[in-house]
Amino acid sequence: MTATNDASDTSTPGVARAPGPTLHEQLLDDPTRPPDPLLVESPVFLGDADVPYRNYISPDYAAAEFEHVWPKSWQWACHTDHIPEAGDYYVYDIGHLSALILRTDDGEIKAYFNACMHRGTQLRPPNSCGFAKQLRCPFHGWTWSLDGQLIDLPDRWDFPHVGDESHRLAEMPVGEFAGFVWVNFDRDAEPLAEWVGVLDDHFTEFGFEDRYIETHVRKRLPCNWKAAIEAFLEAYHVRETHASGKLGDEVTTQYDIFEPNVSRFIHTTGLDSPQRPSPRTEQEIFAHMTRNLRSGEEALELPDNVRARDFYARMVQEQMGEKYGHDFSELSESLTLDSIEYFCFPNAFFFPGLSLPMVYRFRPDPDDLDISYFDLLILRPRPVEGAAPMPPEVIEIDIDESYTLAAGLGGLGRVYDQDTANMAAQTRGFRASHKRGQTLGNYQESRVRHLQRRVDDLLRAGGYDPDS
Ligand code: FES
Ligand SMILES: [Fe+2]
């Protein structure tokens, strides 16, 4: 490694970087070249003004989000595996909005506003899924085909003003991306491909639609939805919050913003942080990475003349290859080991890496702005032969319960618990603070600012001025 950052440039805001090699340089030093999207760098400096705490604690602000952000933004509602056959349906709720997503007899996916065209009754309960040949309202029995056509209207003689066309089920825009079904409650929404922007291009490299859901956890969180998301947008907290863990000290991270809706970090594993006061040997790094694998006090031996990162990547590829029946030997070290995290505004995260293969989704509680819901999915490569397992039952974890209740999360449960403790403390501090806004790092916390700015953009576009 040769080039290093010029950390002394503090005169131009947003330009300074941590001393030592950049993540980009580290990736180029790997023996296997990573896919091109991982070599793209797109830092954006978005200013350095404090972000007001009222964005989290003002009821007016939260109400404006429900009016101008959630009904206008593309969100993934379910996985395509949730509705594989004609008649399978799935209900996605966000705030007081509800979408009924289903597969028609032609195999097409449609999404309807989940409300009867007669007197508004929800056709299917919140958070439900199942199978239906047709959609019959539980109140008076009006019935629609899966295509949304009104096919039965009891006592039709009393409704000469109701036509099959005028009372079709109301559809909303729906699309597929990365194996998930996305909806938008705005019938004039831009196409999904435009919304996900650069993701469309980057994800052609990652085979995300060839994965199935192995574990699905839903956790109730003690904070505003934006604070929950922000806890995962930066790795700046890792050294302090997760200091005792495996993620504790490898902190070279690259932050990118791809306007308008996407941001990313890449966080390396198995390389020594330049910020450590004294560098470790490759054997020490290897011992640290494999400490969960060894029996007793016996450390695993790293062969001579090979980097811990490269050797460990091969180990992971072999283990995962055996477990999931694939050949991962061509994967780059970065795609095998690193924490690669894409965020798509307003609430979705996708991790294309092999050993950290998560998807997140966050939703606000419609009745309490200090509560949010976190869907945490672990995805795995589909078997080459035979069908992938169906999506598992959701493991519900309440606000005071530990993620370690979900066995499928392994050691990550404890790490997520550490994040939750921060969220609760931060939420208390939003109200206790004398200073009325948060101060953000120009680079490492740029994605936090980007999220805040996107919310602000949509609020203002909808005619709500948070400053008035
Ligand atoms: S409200 Fe649905 S049939 Fe009457
Ligand atoms: Fe964390």
Amino acid symbol at 352 = P
Whole-angstrom distance, CA of residue 398 vs CA of residue 377 = 16
For residue 172, the 8-state DSSP code is E
List the shell of residues around ion ligand 2, using CB closer than 5 Å.
Answer: 419
Question: Does the CB atom of residue 142 touch ligand 1 within 6 A?
Answer: yes
Q: Which residue has the higher pLDDT, 272 or 192?
A: 192
Quick check: 245 pLDDT over 80?
A: no
Residue 141 Cα: closest atom of ligand 1:
3
What is the arrangement of strands in the sheet containing 97-103, beginning at the earlier edge strand?
129-131, 88-94, 97-103, 109-113, 171-172
Query: What local confidence, expressed as pLDDT, does residue 247 receive?
Result: 46
Query: What local confidence, expressed as pLDDT, does residue 312 receive?
Result: 96
Tokens 């501090």, residue located: 429
Strands, E, within 35-173: which ranges? 51-52, 75-79, 88-94, 97-103, 109-113, 129-131, 135-136, 143-144, 150-152, 171-172
Question: Does the CB atom of residue 137 touch ligand 1 within 6 A?
Answer: yes
Closest ligand to 418 CA? 2
Confidence band for 468, pLDDT divided at 50, 70 and 90:
confident
Which of the residue ranges 38-42, 83-87, 94-98, 408-412 would you say has the lowest mean pLDDT? 408-412
Q: What is the mean pLDDT of the chain?
A: 93
CA nearest neighbour of 353 among 258, 417, 264, 447:
264
What value does the mean pLDDT take over residues 359-370? 98
Question: Does the CB atom of residue 415 touch ligand 1 within 6 A?
Answer: no
Amino acid symbol at 254 = Q
Question: Does the CB atom of residue 119 touch ligand 1 within 6 A?
Answer: yes
What value does the mean pLDDT take over residues 328-339? 96
Quick check: 349 pLDDT over 70?
A: yes
Closest ligand to 121 CA? 1
Whole-angstrom distance, CA of residue 319 vs CA of residue 203 = 24
Quick check: 90 pLDDT over 70?
A: yes
> Nearest residue CA, atom 4 of ligand 1?
140
> Nearest residue CA, atom 3 of ligand 1?
140
Which residue out of 136, 139, 159 has the highest number of ligand 1 atoms within 8 Å of its CB and is therefore the one to mutate? Answer: 139
Query: What local confidence, expressed as pLDDT, does residue 277 receive?
Result: 74
Whole-angstrom distance, CA of residue 140 vs CA of residue 153 = 9
- Give the angle subtended at the CA of 435 by the CAs of 434 and 441, to the nearest 5°: 145
Whole-angstrom distance, CA of residue 202 vs CA of residue 206 = 8
Question: Does the CB atom of residue 140 touch ligand 1 within 6 A?
Answer: yes
Query: What local confidence, expressed as pLDDT, does residue 444 receive?
Result: 96
What value does the mean pLDDT take over residues 294-314? 86
Residue 339 tokens read as 């924490």
Question: Does the CB atom of residue 159 touch ligand 1 within 6 A?
Answer: no
Whole-angstrom distance, CA of residue 403 vs CA of residue 409 = 8
What value does the mean pLDDT take over residues 130-158? 98
DSSP string, 260-281: TTEEEEEE--SS--TTSSSPPP
Q: What is the distance in A from the centroid of ligand 1 to the CA of 119?
A: 5
Which of the residue ranges 168-172, 292-296, 371-375 would you say has the lowest mean pLDDT? 292-296
What value does the mean pLDDT take over residues 7-27? 84
Residue 316 tokens read as 């992971």
Whole-angstrom distance, CA of residue 154 vs CA of residue 285 = 72
Residue 117 Cα: closest atom of ligand 1:
2
Q: Which residues contact 340 (CB under 8 A, 6 or more apart)?
A: 38, 264, 265, 266, 267, 334, 351, 352, 353, 356
Tokens 């799935």, residue located: 90
Q: What is the distance in A from the centroid of ligand 1 to the CA of 135?
A: 11
Which residue out of 112, 113, 114, 116 has the highest number of ligand 1 atoms within 8 Å of its CB and is therefore the one to mutate? Answer: 116
Contact 144, 155 (CB under 8 A): no
Q: What is the distance in A from the centroid of ligand 1 to the CA of 114?
A: 12
Quick check: 248 pLDDT over 50?
A: no
Question: Does the CB atom of residue 139 touch ligand 1 within 6 A?
Answer: yes
What value does the mean pLDDT take over residues 127-144? 98
Confidence band for 3, pLDDT divided at 50, 70 and 90:
very low
Q: What is the distance in A from the centroid of ligand 1 to the CA of 121?
A: 6
Whole-angstrom distance, CA of residue 167 vs CA of residue 78 = 26
Query: What local confidence, expressed as pLDDT, does residue 297 receive?
Result: 63
Quick check: 376 pLDDT over 70?
A: yes
For residue 148, the 8-state DSSP code is S
Burial of 201 (0-12, 13-18, 19+ CB in 10 A): middle
Quick check: 8 pLDDT over 80?
A: no
Question: Helix, strand or coil for residue 324?
Answer: helix
Q: Which domains does the chain have, with CATH numbers?
A: 23-55+204-461 (3.90.380), 75-188 (2.102.10.10)
> Nearest residue CA, atom 1 of ligand 1?
119
Residue 137 Cα: closest atom of ligand 1:
2
Which residue out of 114, 119, 151 has the highest number of ligand 1 atoms within 8 Å of its CB and is therefore the one to mutate? Answer: 119
Q: Which residue has the higher pLDDT, 242 or 76?
A: 76
Which of the residue ranges 190-194, 276-280, 412-416 would you say has the lowest mean pLDDT? 276-280
pLDDT digits (tens, 9 = 90+) for 380-416: 999 988 899 999 999 999 999 999 999 999 889 999 9
Strand 395-397 versus strand 211-221 pairing type: parallel
Q: What is the distance in A from the centroid of ligand 1 to the CA of 181?
A: 27
Q: Which residue has the higher pLDDT, 164 or 203?
A: 203
Helix and strand totals (H; E) in the chain: 12, 21
Confidence band for 315, pLDDT divided at 50, 70 and 90:
very high
Q: Which residue has the higher pLDDT, 279 or 464?
A: 464
- Give the angle subtended at the CA of 257 by the CAs of 208 and 188, to the nearest 5°: 70
Q: What is the distance in A from the centroid of ligand 1 to the CA of 117?
A: 7
pLDDT digits (tens, 9 = 90+) for 216-240: 999 999 999 999 999 999 999 988 8
Residue 123 Cα: closest atom of ligand 1:
2
pTM equals 0.95
* Omega within 30 of 0 (cis) for the link into 13: no
Question: Helix, strand or coil for residue 365?
Answer: strand
What value does the mean pLDDT take over residues 52-80? 98
Which residue out of 114, 142, 144, 153 has the highest number of ligand 1 atoms within 8 Å of its CB and is therefore the one to mutate? Answer: 142
Closest ligand to 416 CA? 2
Confidence band for 250, pLDDT divided at 50, 70 and 90:
low
pLDDT digits (tens, 9 = 90+) for 102-111: 999 999 999 9
Q: What is the distance in A from the centroid of ligand 1 to the CA of 148?
A: 15
Residue 341 tokens read as 């995290």
Quick check: 160 pLDDT over 70?
A: yes
Residue 398 tokens read as 């309440």
Question: Helix, strand or coil for residue 53?
Answer: coil
Q: What is the distance in A from the centroid of ligand 1 to the CA of 467?
A: 43
Contact 91, 125 (CB under 8 A): yes
Which residue out of 112, 123, 137 has the highest number of ligand 1 atoms within 8 Å of its CB and is therefore the one to mutate? Answer: 137
Question: Helix, strand or coil for residue 337?
Answer: helix
Burial of 24 (0-12, 13-18, 19+ CB in 10 A): middle
